[in-house]
């Protein structure tokens, strides 16, 4: 009988993979990004990703783990790999970092891939009644390879 991966299994896997990064380096990068934050959406995204990585490093297994859709997980990982290969060739360490953070946000933390307050021409990602809403998702969800189709936010 096949075993089904749950969120605790995935958390353990991501935690092991995160050990390739030194926590001191992540904290230092976060401090530098926070100090240099200029309101640029990419700075906000970088800070969010670094904070999420630190959250993952401190995360503990859930007493009520949920099943993980492994097919969807593999699709997301392939899309991240393809995107990073095209847009950041040779950045294998950064690709691993983005994959770990994105998978954690989507399948374990169940938080949006863009931080609240990150904006585009359509408006800000925000929370309404505890539900993440992202206007960018409406534009991006149908684009091939877009990670927006995996995001937990609504349109």
pLDDT in tens, 71-103: 999 999 999 999 889 888 888 888 999 999 999
Spans of all domains in the chain: 7-110, 112-155
Q: What is the pLDDT of residues 96-108, one digit of tens each?
A: 999 999 999 999 9
In 3-state terms the chain splits into helix, strand, coil percentages (rounded to 5) of: 60, 10, 35
């Amino acid at each position: 009988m096949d075993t089904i991966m749950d969120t605790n299994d995935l958390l353990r896997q991501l935690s092991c993979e995160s050990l390739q990064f030194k926590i001191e380096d992540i904290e230092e990068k976060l401090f530098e990004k926070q100090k240099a934050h200029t309101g640029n959406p990419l700075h906000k995204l970088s800070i969010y990703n670094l904070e999420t990585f630190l959250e993952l490093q401190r995360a503990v297994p859930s007493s009520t783990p949920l099943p993980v859709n492994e097919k969807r997980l593999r699709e997301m990982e392939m899309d991240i790999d393809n995107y990073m290969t095209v847009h950041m060739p040779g950045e294998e360490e950064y690709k691993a970092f983005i994959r770990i953070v994105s998978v954690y946000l989507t399948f374990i933390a169940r938080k949006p891939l863009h931080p609240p307050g990150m904006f585009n021409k359509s408006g800000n990602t925000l929370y309404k009644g505890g539900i993440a809403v992202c206007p960018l998702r409406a534009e991006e969800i149908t684009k091939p390879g877009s990670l927006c189709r995996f995001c937990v936010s609504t349109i």
